[in-house]
Amino acid sequence: MGGGQPQVVTTNTAPWKGQQKYLLKGFDMAEKMFNQVPDYYPGETVAGFDPLQTMAQEGAANYITGQRAGRQQQYAEQALLRGLSGQTGFTPQQTADLLAGNVRTGAGTPYQAMADALSGDVVNRLQGSILPGIRQQQVMYQPGGSSRAALEQDKAVTSAVKQGLTTPLAQMYSNAYQTAQGMRLPAAQQAINQQANAMGMYPSIMSAPLSMYGALGDIGAQRRALTQATMDADMARYQYQATAPQQALANYMNMIQGNYGGQSFQTSPGPSAMDQIGQAIGIAGSVAALASDRRIKNNIVPEGSKWKGLNVYSFNYIGDDTPRRGVMAQEAEVLYPHAVHEVGGIKFVDYGAI
């Protein structure tokens, strides 16, 4: 048996009245903000090169590609080559003598000058005192004649030369030779040191201007970083101001939030016709009398057949989609009025009475 008319139960819930106007205000503000596209930050976002950086870059580029660096490099390379060859402040001949331990005694040397000085001193002594003294002795004694005088003079000259010239020159030469031998190793070491110094000086000579430009660029980088930090602070301030309304709205909605409410629908079928009949006559839904009132049926379609003179139909009860077959109480009432009963305003047919 089918059910009766459906019953619809609707439950409505909504925010409490004191909350509603604030919610409406918040929704209105949100819609307005949604329709407003914020502008991009209008200021500069990346700091350019500081003037000192630009100056340092230009100076370094001009130095590297200019004539000054070329001349410095040329001079430095020449000095490097001289240093690498072991060149010192001595002439090549002097250097060779130092390395060989030679003592030069010829004209123009300090040794020859000293020899000349000693020779002059010997001559002066001979002429001034030694020889005149010998002649004086000869005049006074004359023991051996002229030959003895000559011997005395030769002896005196030999002694004077030995004491005043030969011995000092030999001693001076010996000292000079010993000194020269002692200078051989320092001279060689000096050449080696000169080579090392030249090799160490070359990079510093070439890089000195670049180091100054680098220091200048570092100062510019610090100033640029400060400029960028200022820009970042301005962008952060702009971002804060641009999003302040949205943040304020979010805070506003959080403060008034709650159960916004809603609406729900619940549909359930009403009591079927048989339930109504059973309630009216105190019987269950399995009684022989079936509800056959046309008014509680849907999709009534004649099958073209008859049962005991009554048309047979296919149908379903309102609120119940189960397909059924049977007769109409209004038609049965005409032929079998004793088999049709009405309970609660609904006609049903007692099939056992037909």
CA atoms of 178 and 188, how far apart (whole Å): 17
- The label of the residue with tokens 């009216």 reads 280
pLDDT tens track for 335-350: 999 999 988 889 989 9
CA atoms of 28 and 35, how far apart (whole Å): 11
pLDDT tens track for 226-254: 899 999 999 999 999 888 888 888 888 88
Give the CA count within 13 Å in the CB-facing half-sphere of 320: 17
pLDDT tens track for 34-93: 888 778 888 888 888 898 888 888 888 887 777 877 777 777 777 677 666 766 666 777
Is residue 261's pLDDT more than 60?
no
Q: Which amino acid is at 240?
A: Y
What HEC string does the chain produce? CCCCCCEEEEEEECCCHHHHHHHHHHHHHHHHHHCCCCCCCCCCCCCCCCHHHHHHHHHHHHHHHCHHHHHHHHHHHHHHHHHHCCCCCCCHHHHHHHHHCCCCCCCCCHHHHHHHHHHHHHHHHHHHHHHHHHHHHHHHHCCCHHHHHHHHHHHHHHHHHHHHHHHHHHHHHHHHHHHHHHHHHHHHHHHHHHHHHHHHHHHHHHHHHHHHHHHHHHHHHHHHHHHHHHHHHHHHHHHHHHHHHHHHHHHHHHHHCCCCCEEEEEEECCCCHHHHHHHHHCCCCCCCEEECCHHHEEEEEEEEEEECCEEEEEEEECCCCCCEEECCHHHHHHHCHHHEEEECCEEEEEHHHC
Q: Any idea which of 13-17, 70-74, 304-308 has the lowest mean pLDDT?
A: 13-17
Tell whether pTM > 0.85.
no
